[in-house]
Amino acid sequence: MRTLIPTLVVFLFASQMHAQLERDKVLHFVGGGLFGLAGAGIAKHASDGNRVWTFVGAVAGSALVGVAKEAIDSGQQDNAWDNEDLLATVLGGVTVGVSIELFSKKRNKRRPMGSLTTQTFDPEDFQVNTKAYQYVDSDSPLPTINALGFNAPGEIYLE
């Protein structure tokens, strides 16, 4: 109930605000979002997943298309350059860039300091016992580690 009432209030205000926007501005916003998504994809691929360049690509893609659309509109008769249309297009790209930033997995770029383990690798601990056949006890039900051909930790058999 605590979240239901604020959600209903937001939807009531949103339904009334829709009437305040021109259809042209909504189309510019959607177009900016689509071209911002394409720009973000290209920038992400080109920068190997850098989040800053992905956001810049989203904004730049929408801005580029917005400027091109307004340049075409200003060349037509009975039409002119509209900064509000350009702003709606760029806001579509910014919205896509922020959405990608919020919903993408963030990679932890911090590297662990030092070794991940406290033990050091000693190759002598992993030598195969070549004389394992001498240590097989036929009366024992389970073979020992020496019988399997490995040395117990700390044991080194040299020929």
pLDDT in tens, the chain (159 residues): 677 787 877 777 766 665 566 778 888 898 999 999 999 999 999 988 888 999 999 999 999 999 998 898 888 888 888 888 899 999 999 999 998 888 887 665 555 555 555 666 677 767 666 665 555 545 555 555 555 566 556 555 555
pLDDT value for 61? 94
The count of C-alpha atoms lying within 13 angstroms of the C-alpha of 41, restricted to the half-sphere facing its C-beta, is 6
pLDDT value for 79? 84
Give the residue from 49, 33, 13, 25 showing the smallest Cα distance to 99: 33
Tell me if residue 150 falls in helix, strand or coil: strand
Can you tell me the distance from the alpha carbon of 87 to that of 93, in angstroms, rounded to the nearest whole number? Answer: 10
pLDDT value for 110? 59
What does residue 128 show for φ and ψ, rounded to 5 degrees?
Answer: -85, 135
Rounded to the nearest 10 degrees, how much is the dihedral formed by the CA atoms of 19, 24, 30, 33? -120
pLDDT value for 94? 93
